[in-house]
């Protein structure tokens, strides 16, 4: 039997230097190779969706911590508990990016049976 439950995550993305981030991700040449965004909210939306996805995280043996590098064109992120920080950005000039998962809660919907097992 397979049962599906729905969760909601809240994550805060902080661009420590928003001017640098805007110049790099929105106004700079970066968009020619990766994604085109209208504003930093769009950047944060994509990053947030990757950072809350547990399948995006792998153990990074170089730093001996959990790391997330699944979002092409963005720096790798490391986890320090609920605090997430960018690192290993190979000299990119977008400023530091921090994130924090505030909550991950089950919604008020009842889990749904999506496949009935056979007996």
Contact between residue 25 and residue 39 where contact means Cβ atoms under 8 Å apart: no
Mean pLDDT of the chain: 80
Distance CA 38, CA 61 (A): 36
Domain that holds residue 96: 2-115
| pLDDT for res 18 | 93
- What are 39's strand-pairing partners? none
Q: What is the DSSP string of 28-89?
A: STHHHHS---SSHHHHHHHHHHHHT-GGGEEEETTTTEEEE--STTSPEEEEETTEEEEE--
Number of neighbouring beta carbons within 10 Å of residue 13: 19
Predicted confidence (pLDDT) per residue in 42-88, tens digit: 999 988 888 877 777 788 787 787 888 767 788 888 887 777 888 76
Instruction: Assign 19 a pLDDT band (cuts: 50, 70, 90).
Output: very high
pLDDT score of 68: 82
| pLDDT of 5 | 73
**Exposed, middle or buried: residue 51 (CB in 10 Å: 0-12, 13-18, 19+)?**
buried
Tell me the whole-structure pTM to 2 decimals. Answer: 0.72
> Which pLDDT value is given to residue 60?
79
Instruction: Count the domains in the chain.
Output: 1
């Amino acid at each position: 039997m397979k049962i599906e439950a729905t969760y909601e995550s809240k994550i805060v993305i902080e661009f420590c230097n928003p001017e640098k981030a805007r110049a790099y991700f929105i106004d700079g040449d970066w968009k020619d190779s990766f994604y085109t965004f209208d504003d930093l909210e769009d950047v944060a939306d994509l990053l947030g969706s990757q950072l809350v996805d547990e399948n995006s995280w792998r153990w990074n043996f170089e730093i001996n911590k959990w790391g997330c590098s699944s979002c092409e064109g963005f720096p790798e992120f490391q986890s320090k508990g609920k605090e997430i920080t960018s690192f290993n950005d190979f000299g990119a000039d977008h400023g530091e990016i921090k994130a924090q998962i505030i909550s991950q809660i089950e919604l008020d919907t009842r889990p749904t049976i999506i496949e009935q097992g056979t007996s």
